[in-house]
Chain A
């Protein structure tokens, strides 16, 4: 019940296109859902996060859509750029100072 399932495993998008990554969770008690971006050899960087009382959050080119009834959330990257090529992880947690349960990751490649 602690799992977070992430898809697709890899994604190739043309420059200027929209990248969409999906996650599904099982534990309805989760109350915080972040997305992290990780470049090779670097630590994960917090991109954007959402709480379950909000259905959408936008920060620049990044948008989280959250569907509480379906227990799903997704990351949309608008106007994708080659510099967005990285691995993206969704995660979920309950409470504060607690474990982040990560999805399996999506490797995004943005081509010219």
Chain B
């Protein structure tokens, strides 16, 4: 299996809802990432997990809560989002290499709309 899968593909939620995005990979990668991408912009890093521990948080608001239950799964819990949080949310994974290198493989994304 050489892909990153994400569910759901599309999500519409109100500002008071609680929802979760899910990401899965079976490539044996021990680093997993959440990125946010607005239309016509590059992806922006939100979080990095390395060996199931949160290693980077790019000052993301607490209404976004990541979770890494095991080495294959990554969740992003959403609560009390704002309309400006509407975006494509991308999950990625990579090996953790002692010699460096950072080949990140992206999933297809979840298109989130906040009403």
Contacts and interface: CB of A to CB of B under 8 A. Distances in A.
Given A34-B102, A44-B90, A46-B104, 6 more contacts: A36-B106, A43-B109, A49-B103, A96-B98, A97-B55, A99-B56
B102 A43 contact: no
A95 B102 contact: yes
A66 to B, nearest CB: 15
Contacts of A104: 41-42
A105 B42 contact: yes
Interface of B is mostly: loop
Nearest 5 interchain pairs by C-beta? A102-B42, A97-B31, A43-B106, A93-B102, A97-B50
Nearest to B35: A100
Contacts, number: 72
Interface of B: 4, 30-31, 40-45, 48, 50, 55-56, 58, 90, 92, 94-98, 100-109, 111
Interface residues of A, number: 24
A73 interface: no
B106 A44 contact: yes
Given A31-B100, A96-B101, A97-B31, A44 B43 contact: yes
A104 B41 CA distance: 6
B43 A99 contact: no
B48 A97 contact: yes
Contacts of B58: 99
A89 interface: yes
Contacts of A93: 102
Contact of B102 (A89, A100, A103, A105): A100
Contact of B104 (A42, A95, A100): A100
Nearest to B94: A97
A12 interface: no
